[in-house]
Structure 1
Amino acid sequence: MKTCFFIFLFVFSISCLAVVKRHDIPPENYVLKEAPDFLVDMPHEGHGALINPSWVVTVAHTIFYNYIGKSLRIGSNTYQIKKVYIHPEFEKPSEILLKGNLAPLMSFFKARSDIALIKLSSPVNDVLPIALYTNIKEQGKTVTVFGKGATGNGLIGEESDTKSLKQLNHFQNIIENAETNWLTFKFDKPTNGLPLEGMHGSGDSGGASVIYQGGKPFLVGLSSWQLAHGDISDFKGGLYGTTAYQVRISNYSEWIKDVIADELKTVN
């Protein structure tokens, strides 16, 4: 049972309610009444971001099976998924990695490329796509992160039964490191944390991590996983001191451009 819970929380951690918050800040401060137009809910859980009128980017582990033909609600319309491109360096963990010491699984997560592109059946014409952040100077910047995953607070961690609430939240954090495939930040205690300090939770996967420049949002990352230590059966996500890993968009900007360009060649 615990192993199944871990698989759900870590590997298929997609979207549903909120984010993990500071314990000393009213939870409603994190709540958003409306989602950014570019934020897209995946068919079951998790999120993606509209980066082109015909394309959505998400984390690969939100793709549970063949999603071709599934619908996505974007803006005021519904669009079908026409094609899915999963990065060639993405793999699912073997059963042996989902037992015992977490160290091998953490190394596995860090080595893979957790990103996918979704081609829509027709272009979106009533939503402005979010621009990609292609600068590699992410370290030290404040990001705003959106999600509907399990909520809770830094003292007790995330509470899995809150996923069913499906309430949109946002939080902020400061990027500590940019490590090839990944951006990382730590969930700091109130004495060191931002006013809306937070951590992505189970169900937030693929949620957009955004940098604002001149009032314009740029997609810098996608919520992916949390660093954990010890035995898998003792894991508790979202505690103060936990490090979050987000897909580093700048590292994949060329792959994204190449996939879209190749698809245009095929169509033409």
Structure 2
Amino acid sequence: MKLALYVTLLTLLTISPAHGIITRHDVDDKECQELGARYAASVAYIGGCMSTLVEPGWLLTAAHCMRGEGVGLETALHLEVPYQVEQTFVHPDSDIALVQLKNPVRNGKPIALYNQKNELGRNVVFVGNGVFGNGCDGLAGEDGNLRGARNTVIEATQYNLVFLFDKPETATNLEGISGPGDSGGPALMEIDGLLYVAGVSAYQKGNGFEEGHYGVSEYYSRVSTHYPWLREVIDNSKPDQTPED
């Protein structure tokens, strides 16, 4: 990535990081919580952000979650169980990172990294437990409940998958985006019955709208582009892990 583009990316991250799940105003919140609960065993929390379990001892998250004063990176939480962090790996040019745990996660459901370049037009599921809200009223509050939302890839750049928070007239049945609390969370894609993580929550553009309202754009770091780097890190850094008691 060229330096100018990287600087622009960092500026966007500073202005509007992507964090919690904001959904349609005309959908029962219970449906969103039920969708999120399906993936509870596949996500974890670290540094105030979301992450995805991609192997028993590895978490995928956003690079900007690994930076900043006071960011706690010693422990990750999965299904309320803490796991000690062995080390972190931050991509030098993109908003994507890996966290290696000292021991593999118990009762987890790892999700495969997506490595194909055919994401455009595909449906995804976002998962998060940060600030919730809806497209009409915007941000509402935080209750710690895991929620899910659906969206569609409208653009696939070299480094990002792009989504738009559509109004109900043109939206998916559980349309939503991220909001404060879930940077690093996954864009999950199901193909032929298999589940993959295709993107990592990175940042938003307001497009003239307030955060959390219909019309904003969502940007997720594109896993397929970074797949060679991700696999190299994981394959060359595997410790002799044994499950924690």
Same fold judged by TM-score > 0.5?
Answer: yes
Please tell me whether the aligned partners of residues 9 and 202 of structure 1 are also in contact (alpha carbons under 8 angstroms): no
Separation in structure 2 between the aligned mates of residue 183 and residue 79 of structure 1, nearest angstrom? 30
What TM-score comes out, normalization by structure 1 length? 0.76
Separation in structure 2 between the aligned mates of residue 69 and residue 20 of structure 1, nearest angstrom? 26
1:77 Cα offset (Å): 4.4
- Out of 112, 121, 132, the position equivalent to 2:113 is 132
Aligned to 2:126: 145
2:225 pairs with 1:247: no
The Cα offsets for residues 79-129 of structure 1, whole Å up to 9 and x where unpaired, read as 10010111111xxxxxxxxxxxxxxxxxxxxxxx11111111112343231
From the superposition, tell whether residues 216 and 36 of structure 1 become closer, same or farther in structure 2 (CA, over 3 Å). Answer: farther
1:75 Cα offset (Å): 4.9
1:199 Cα offset (Å): 1.2
Q: Residues 1-268 of structure 1 correspond to what in structure 2 (within 5 A)?
A: 10-11=16-17, 13-14=18-19, 18-32=20-34, 34=37, 35-43=39-47, 45-63=48-66, 64-65=68-69, 70-75=74-79, 77-89=81-93, 113-159=94-140, 162-163=141-142, 165-229=143-207, 236-264=210-238
Separation in structure 2 between the aligned mates of residue 46 and residue 220 of structure 1, nearest angstrom? 18
Please tell me whether the aligned partners of residues 126 and 185 of structure 2 are also in contact (alpha carbons under 8 angstroms): yes
1:214 Cα offset (Å): 3.2
Separation in structure 2 between the aligned mates of residue 88 and residue 66 of structure 1, nearest angstrom? 21
Kindly report structure 1 stretches of 4+ aligned residues shifted beyond 6 Å. 6-9, 66-69
From the superposition, tell whether residues 8 and 179 of structure 1 become closer, same or farther in structure 2 (CA, over 3 Å). Answer: closer
Moved more, 169-178 or 199-208: 199-208
Q: How many residues align?
A: 226
More strand by share: 2
Please tell me whether the aligned partners of residues 124 and 153 of structure 2 are also in contact (alpha carbons under 8 angstroms): yes
1:26 Cα offset (Å): 2.0
Aligned Cα RMSD in Å?
A: 2.6
Larger radius of gyration: 1
Separation in structure 1 between the aligned mates of residue 22 and residue 15 of structure 2, nearest angstrom? 14
Separation in structure 2 between the aligned mates of residue 227 and residue 115 of structure 1, nearest angstrom? 18
SS of aligned partner of 2:228: helix
Structure 2: gaps of 5 or more residues: 1-11
The Cα offsets for residues 119-140 of structure 1, whole Å up to 9 and x where unpaired, read as 1111234323111111110001
From the superposition, tell whether residues 215 and 156 of structure 1 become closer, same or farther in structure 2 (CA, over 3 Å). Answer: same
From the superposition, tell whether residues 65 and 50 of structure 1 become closer, same or farther in structure 2 (CA, over 3 Å). Answer: farther
Percentage of identical aligned residues: 30
From the superposition, tell whether residues 31 and 139 of structure 1 become closer, same or farther in structure 2 (CA, over 3 Å). Answer: same
